[in-house]
């Protein structure tokens, strides 16, 4: 059965393949033995191979060893974890009253914990979840699990058209309502209308859960994320940030009012039953947070802003479609799986690593190249990519005709 299903994926051009790197995460990397220029990583600030973070990780291992040994509630909660959580809470303290943070090994676990745990604040059948249609898979799975475990009602909404969300909430009499959205949508690069969503949440007494995986470290003057950028403050916000993207290392966190976090510690099954992340990683993340809100972080965010401006001003396609994203995520929509795979293969031959993104990651008919910028890309790097893309577009159009 598995063999036939895999063959079906091949027929639909949907089979994914692992590519092996044998160098550090950087804009120049060796993939399957070939050096390529990568425009596909989520390492937006270029911290993943930063000497300061390498040193901090080594220092953390010498201080606290290689592993944590148990879950947080058994014996795995180290002073490094505690210090990291306090610093993460401080990042959001201007936006969430009495903020407290909880550290996780992955964003997937953080989202599962937040959604399933918050739904358990009500009795079975008492919760309604309103989820943006283009949310990340981890949010989708959290919503589905919450529905299966606690009979939560699920309603999807278009984050660009909020009238239907408001209309659905007006008819909702359930005592617990949660609006769930990405902060930056990972495949389109656009930013959710968080101020408008917060107003709706306040109007209908709902919680607002924001997964800022692609905004933390990038958005806001100090890199604190979408809440800082939008200057929001509310006790009904549940904020989730990722530490393996712009922060350059690994992990994620939930930040919310203290009593929400305490509830998740008591009732969040993925948190309770997972071995704690090695404290060395938490120690290194403290250095990353220092860099994010310091001068180096500001300089690197300014470099990203320059790259985004160059892209919008100079990348003019004849037929291919780009978006109006103001983030380091800049997709090029090609439509069919075949078109996306062909363009990706031409880029590979030209020395670039930009994979084709296909369903179910994106809707059918919207396969794309997901181009991402790092602060370690130079303006010349980007302009060379632009020249290459223009040539490849013409080659693809000629091949199609």
End-to-end Cα, the chain, rounded Å: 38
Rounded Cα distance, 98 and 92, in Å: 10
User: Considering 81, 136, 245, 322, which one is annotated as catalytic?
Assistant: 245
d(CA 369, CA 354): 6
What is the number of alpha carbons within 13 Å of residue 91 lying toward its C-beta? 34
Which residues neighbour 310 within 8 Å (Cβ) at sequence distance 6 or greater?
A: 379, 382, 383, 386
CA dihedral (296, 108, 42, 350) in degrees, to 10, reads 160
Report the distance separating Cα 25 and Cα 271, nearest Å.
28
> To 5 degrees, how large is the angle CA 215–CA 233–CA 245?
15
By CB neighbour count within 10 A (0-12 exposed, 13-18 middle, 19+ buried), where does 127 fall?
Answer: buried
Give yes or no for a contact between 33 and 358, defined as CB atoms under 8 angstroms apart. no
186 is catalytic: yes
Peptide bond into 294 cis (omega under 30): no
CA distance 129 to 191: 20
Report the distance separating Cα 259 and Cα 277, nearest Å. 23
245 tagged catalytic: yes
Taking residue 161's Cβ as centre, other Cβ atoms within 10 Å add up to 8
Radius of gyration of the chain from its Cα atoms, rounded to whole angstroms: 21
**Among candidate residues 272, 126, 115, the one with its CA nearest the CA of residue 208:** 115
Q: How far apart are CA 53 and CA 286, in angstroms?
A: 9
288 catalytic, yes or no?
Answer: no
Catalytic-labelled residue, pool 68, 105, 138, 186 = 186
- Choosing from 95, 159, 177, 214, which is the catalytic residue? 214
Residues designated catalytic: 186, 214, 245
């Amino acid at each position: 059965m598995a063999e036939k299903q895999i063959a079906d994926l091949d027929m639909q051009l949907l089979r994914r393949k692992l590519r092996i790197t044998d160098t550090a995460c950087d804009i120049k990397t060796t993939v399957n033995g070939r050096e390529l220029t990568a425009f596909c990583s989520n390492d937006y600030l270029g911290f993943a191979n930063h000497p300061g973070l390498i040193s901090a990780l080594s220092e953390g291992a010498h201080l606290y060893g290689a592993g944590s040994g148990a879950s947080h509630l058994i014996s795995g909660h180290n002073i490094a974890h505690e210090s990291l959580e306090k610093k993460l809470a401080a990042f959001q303290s201007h936006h969430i009253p009495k903020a407290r943070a909880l550290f996780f090994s992955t964003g997937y676990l953080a989202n599962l914990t937040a959604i399933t745990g918050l739904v358990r604040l009500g009795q079975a059948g008492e919760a309604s979840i309103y989820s943006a249609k283009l949310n990340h898979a981890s949010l989708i799975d959290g919503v589905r699990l919450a529905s299966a475990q606690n009979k939560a009602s699920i309603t999807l909404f278009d984050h660009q058209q909020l009238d239907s969300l408001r209309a659905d909430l007006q008819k909702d009499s359930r005592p617990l309502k949660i609006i769930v959205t990405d902060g930056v949508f990972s495949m389109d690069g656009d930013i959710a209308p968080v101020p408008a969503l917060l107003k709706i949440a306040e109007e209908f007494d709902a919680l607002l859960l924001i997964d800022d995986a692609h905004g933390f470290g990038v958005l806001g003057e100090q890199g604190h994320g979408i809440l800082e950028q939008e200057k929001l403050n509310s006790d009904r916000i549940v904020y989730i940030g990722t530490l393996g993207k712009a922060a350059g290392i690994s992990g994620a966190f939930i930040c919310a009012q203290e009593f929400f976090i305490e509830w998740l510690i008591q009732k969040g099954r993925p948190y309770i039953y997972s071995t704690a992340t090695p404290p060395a990683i938490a120690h290194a993340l403290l250095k990353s947070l220092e860099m994010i809100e310091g001068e180096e972080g500001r300089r690197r965010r300014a470099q990203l802003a320059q790259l985004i401006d160059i892209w919008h001003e100079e990348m003019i396609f004849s037929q291919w479609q780009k978006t109006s994203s103001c983030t380091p995520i800049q997709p090029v929509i090609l439509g069919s799986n075949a078109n996306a795979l062909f363009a990706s293969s031409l880029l590979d031959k030209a020395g670039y690593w930009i994979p084709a993104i296909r369903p179910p990651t994106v809707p059918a008919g919207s396969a794309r190249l997901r181009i991402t910028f790092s602060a370690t890309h130079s303006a010349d790097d980007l302009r060379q990519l632009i020249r290459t893309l223009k040539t490849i577009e013409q080659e693809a159009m000629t091949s199609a005709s």
